[in-house]
Structure 1
Amino acid sequence: MIEISCKKTLSPSFTLDAHLNIKKGDFVAFHGKSGSGKTTLLRILAGFLKADSGYIKNANITFFDDYKFLAPQNRNIGYLFQDYALFPNMNVMKNLLFANNDKKLASELLSLVELEEHEHSSVAKLSGGQKQRVALARALMRRPDILLLDEPLSALDNEIRAKLQDYLIKIHESFGMTTILVSHDVSEIYKLAKVVYELNDGKIINQGTPSQIFLKHSGSQKFSFHAKILEIQKRDALYVAIVEVANQISEIALSHAEATNLEVGCEVLLSAKAFKINIKRI
């Protein structure tokens, strides 16, 4: 069990105040708007950032409290960044061995992520998806108890992203480690995570399975999902909202009352009920 109870003030207007327990071996996700505290919490857990007060414990190991601060290298945590953070002057195998000089394990991991034929390749010559697989293998070289994933797939195209999600599932099951993902992608969280912690303004405001968090039903409503207003147009007697939803652009007809309550940039919840698309500001 990972026990987290910590506070960190980053500015006069923002304080992270997080309290949660994560079961050993779970795949969990931190979800919320930009600036809600997701990455800050991840960095405090990793030891890259020191909390002002509180504690974090992993089973019988105290990462920090009022009397102790365990250095990042002593926490047995793997961290996968969005920007790979590989050494461009080293080949693939040397990048892995830099983390842990265990060639047998490095070969096993390269086989697991299907990169064994690239072990002597220059990192600079790899594709984005290949670089991220190398970074994932390197994060596992110390057989970490906890794997932290800070939006590691957000820069990749959808096809490569889907394949890497499959690798993450396979690796999580193979190693049995606790995995914590930070992501804005609801579909990615739904596919990967068992538990979701929703953050807003530095606090955990909701916790549950991906279905409980993201599948919001009401009456005869068939589906609902988040969207963002890109533009509101007036067309004759109607208003039309141009919205971004699931990486696609759609048009939604609005009543005058709905249009009055909306503005460009706001987030909304779209739902279908009785063959009509409803739109509600979040």
Structure 2
Amino acid sequence: MIKFKVKKRLHGAQGDFILDVDIEVGEGELLVIFGPSGSGKTTILRILAGLERPEEGYIEVNGSVWFDSKININLPPQKRDVGFVFQDYSLFPNMTVFENIAFGMKKKNPQKVIELLKLANMEELKNRKPTNLSGGQKQRVALLRALAREPKVLLLDEPLSALDPETALTLGEEIKRFQKRFSIPTIMVSHSKEETLKLADRVCQLSNGKVISIGKPKDVLFSRKLSPKFSLKGILLEKSFSDPVCILSVAVGSEVVQVVVSKEEGQELNVGDWVLLSTKAFVPSVRKIKTSS
């Protein structure tokens, strides 16, 4: 359990503003902090990791107080049990994959490193240097290094933003699988609706330093506005049935749309299908399409 209540003055493109948030993250929960650039998302991660200090507030993790401005408690970063996956990977270029993962371990355990590599299907890459890895492979190494610390909190700063859509989709599934396997309370920063819908247990929507909405991904992300005419290609992320209809969540570029179709149409579709969305007289239609990929 994470209890995080802080205030800090920040400098934004539109001038100074106050980051003022009060959030909690349950055991094994993945909370996505969603919002535009410059709203204070990454600052929340840095404060939790001890890399920045708020002006006032309180941070408690699993009953241990990490920060309390009233009684002047502020644990240094090295005493905070945090696994941090940065947006730019931050791997050591002179170390192998194996050495990068082992670097952050509290107690060196080569067998555990091998086990983590096997879980990510990367055992054959253990002796490679980061310069010989793809972007997706580098991000996997960064994630495994964070997990190897056996942290009490996992922090992910836009971990998929630099990857192509297909790699991001695959790695996102791996992040969710690892996070649930190790049951680590996780806070992830994102400005992608697709990532948020796919990965989050709950979403905290941030704007100009303030929490404007928090709850289940669908409740926070979807508006009820309907465009009268459109024809778009996307990937089916999720479907659910509610007689007599089927509700589809479809990724279109960096956006996610929700469409209601007939139960019969929904039964013909599978998660992962490429689909074509269109409307006629405000009646949505979704059909599977073939792609060359």
Secondary structure of 1:13's aligned partner: strand
TM-score, structure 1 as length reference: 0.77
Task: Give the Cα separation in 2 of the matches to 1:60 and 1:122.
Answer: 39
Question: Is 1:33 matched with 2:40?
Answer: no
**Are 1:51 and 2:54 counterparts?**
yes
Bigger mean CA offset, 161-170 vs 11-20: 11-20
Match of 2:249 in 1: none
| Residue aligning to 1:164 | 171
Residue 71 of structure 1: aligned partner? 76
* In 1, Cα distance between equivalents of 2:9 and 2:181: 37
Query: Which of 12, 23, 26 is the aligned partner of 1:23?
Result: 26
1:123 equivalent among 118, 130, 140? 130
Shift of 1:220: 11
Deviation (angstroms), 1:123: 1.7
AA paired with 1:62? V
Q: How many residues align?
A: 234
Query: How many angstroms does 1:273 deviate by?
Result: 9.5
Match among 178, 185, 188 for residue 178 of structure 1? 185
User: Which residue number corresponds to residue 265 of structure 1?
Assistant: none
**2:67 counterpart letter in structure 1:** F
| Closer, same or farther: CA 26–155 of 1 in aligned 2, 3 Å | same
Over 3 Å counting, the alpha-carbon distance change for 1:98 and 1:204 in structure 2 is same
Counterparts in 2 of 1:140-151, with a 5 A limit? 140-151=147-158
Distance 1:93 1:124 in 2: 14
**Aligned-residue identity in percent:** 45
Distance 1:17 1:247 in 2: 28
- Conserved? CA contact 1:25–1:179, under 8 Å: yes
Kept after mapping to 2: 8 A contact 1:91/1:120: yes
Paired amino acid for 1:31: F
Q: CA deviation at 1:82?
A: 1.1
Q: Name the amino acid aligned to 1:211.
A: K
TM-score (norm 2): 0.75
- Alignment gaps of 5+ in structure 2: 231-251, 256-278, 285-293
Helix, strand or coil at the partner of 1:189: helix
Segments of 5+ residues of structure 1 without an aligned counterpart are 224-244, 249-271, 278-282
Kept in 1, the 8 Å contact 2:4–2:58? The answer is: yes
Shift of 1:218: 6.3
Letter in 2 for 1:19: D
Which SS does the other structure have where 1:56 is aligned?
strand
Distance 1:85 1:60 in 2: 30
Deviation at residue 203 of structure 1 after TM alignment: 0.8
Say what the alpha-carbon RMSD is for the aligned residues.
2.5
Q: Which amino acid aligns with 1:29?
A: V
1:109 lines up with 2:116 in the alignment: yes
